[in-house]
């Protein structure tokens, strides 16, 4: 018997616990280190459970989903993907570094995207013709604890060099969560061009309004942080607003 009820055609994605859901239980460093999967975040045994989750789900079920014949290469790929989280994907360079064929890498990344382990972030290209926008994709893991667990660093002491990129990825996850839960037709990009102008995130709304967002781990504002944003506003095609997110307590005009 086939169920053709309309309610069966609406997909609903569930994300890890968000900033808004955690409310008074929110701990930024904990989110960056062990992630925000409910049982893992809310219990002391979370890091140990995370390791089991990665071994039993990612390294077994995902490999089965991928119909992986070479288990060693897929396990190596997972580590490579975790290290590459938040960065542009250069398939040729990754293939050279890992000795995994480029087309195999593409297939593995597609499997992670299809199983919602990663979310792809394309490059924003709607800029004036004087700029050559980079079109490579970035991606982020759906949960930073999973990313750290794959690398075996979930219990490590994190430095500022570690936390800065993780903070940027966490903000990206929060935005993707908000857009999904509120069913907003917004698109998320990043921006980089041949003249070294970079913006961490670009959001294009349903009405084609553009938001350029720069994300910084620091607590003390630096005037240099806005350089890329100001350049982006001059070259973006459309009404553009700028946002700078950092850990300081002072709101910026």
Which pLDDT tens digit goes with each residue over 72-125? 677 788 899 999 999 999 999 999 988 889 998 998 899 899 889 999 999 999
3-state secondary structure of 211: strand
What pLDDT sits at residue 130?
79
Q: Is the pLDDT of residue 176 over 80?
A: yes
Alpha helices in the chain (DSSP H): 19-22, 28-34, 38-42, 46-53, 63-65, 71-84, 91-98, 102-114, 144-150, 160-181, 227-235
What tens digit of pLDDT does each residue of 189-242 get? 999 999 999 999 999 999 999 999 999 999 988 888 989 999 999 999 989 999
Query: Which residues make Cβ contacts (< 8 Å) with residue 135, sequence separation at least 6?
Result: 122, 123, 125
DSSP state of 253: -
What pLDDT sits at residue 68?
59
In this prediction the pTM is 0.90
Q: Output the six-digit token pair for 189.
A: 């990009």
What tens digit of pLDDT does each residue of 156-171 get? 999 989 999 999 999 9
What tens digit of pLDDT does each residue of 51-77 get? 888 888 777 777 776 655 556 677 788
What is the average pLDDT across 16-44?
Answer: 96
Higher pLDDT pick, 253 / 236: 236
What pLDDT sits at residue 67?
57
Q: Is the pLDDT of residue 178 over 80?
A: yes
Q: Which of 145, 190, 167 is nearest to 246 (CA)?
A: 167
* pLDDT more than 90, % of the chain: 67
What pLDDT sits at residue 13?
80
Q: DSSP per residue over 151-185, as a string?
A: TT-TTSPPPHHHHHHHHHHHHHHHHHHHHHHTT--
What pLDDT sits at residue 233?
94
Query: Which residues are bridge partners to 141 per DSSP?
Result: 118
Query: Which residues make Cβ contacts (< 8 Å) with residue 7, sequence separation at least 6?
Result: none
- Write down the mean pLDDT value for the chain: 89
Whole-number Å distance between alpha carbons of 37 and 16: 5
Q: Which of 216, 208, 215 is nearest to 241 (CA)?
A: 208
- Cα 167 to Cα 29, 41, 248, distances in angstroms: 9, 17, 14
What pLDDT sits at residue 250?
75
What pLDDT sits at residue 11?
66
- Cα 14 to Cα 63, 115, 130, 168, 196, distances in angstroms: 22, 12, 41, 21, 36
What tens digit of pLDDT does each residue of 132-152 get? 999 999 999 999 999 999 999
What tens digit of pLDDT does each residue of 8-24 get? 555 678 899 999 999 99
Whole-number Å distance between alpha carbons of 181 and 203: 16
Burial of residue 59 (number of CB atoms within 10 Å: 0-12, 13-18, 19+): middle
């Amino acid at each position: 018997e086939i169920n053709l009820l309309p309610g069966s055609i609406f997909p609903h994605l569930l994300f890890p616990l968000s900033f808004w859901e955690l409310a008074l239980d929110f701990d930024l460093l904990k989110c960056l280190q062990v992630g925000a999967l409910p049982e893992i975040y809310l219990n002391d045994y979370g890091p140990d459970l995370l390791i089991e989750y990665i071994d039993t789900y990612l390294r077994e079920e995902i490999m089965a989903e991928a119909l992986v014949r070479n288990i060693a290469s897929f396990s190596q790929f997972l580590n490579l993907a975790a290290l590459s989280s938040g960065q542009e994907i250069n398939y040729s360079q990754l293939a050279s570094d890992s000795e995994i064929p480029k087309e195999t890498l593409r297939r593995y990344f597609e499997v992670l995207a299809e199983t919602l382990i990663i979310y792809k972030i394309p490059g924003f290209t709607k800029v004036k013709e004087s700029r050559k926008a980079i079109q490579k994709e970035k991606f982020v893991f759906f949960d930073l604890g999973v990313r750290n667990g794959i690398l075996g660093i979930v219990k490590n002491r994190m430095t500022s060099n570690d936390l800065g990129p993780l903070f940027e990825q966490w903000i990206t996850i929060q935005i993707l969560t908000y857009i999904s839960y509120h069913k907003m037709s917004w698109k998320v990009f990043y921006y980089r061009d041949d003249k070294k102008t970079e913006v961490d995130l670009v959001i294009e709304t349903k009405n084609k309004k553009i938001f350029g967002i720069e994300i910084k781990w620091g607590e003390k504002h630096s005037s240099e942080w806005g350089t890329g944003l100001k350049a982006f506003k001059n070259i973006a095609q459309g009404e553009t607003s700028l946002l700078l997110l950092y850990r300081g307590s002072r709101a910026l005009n």
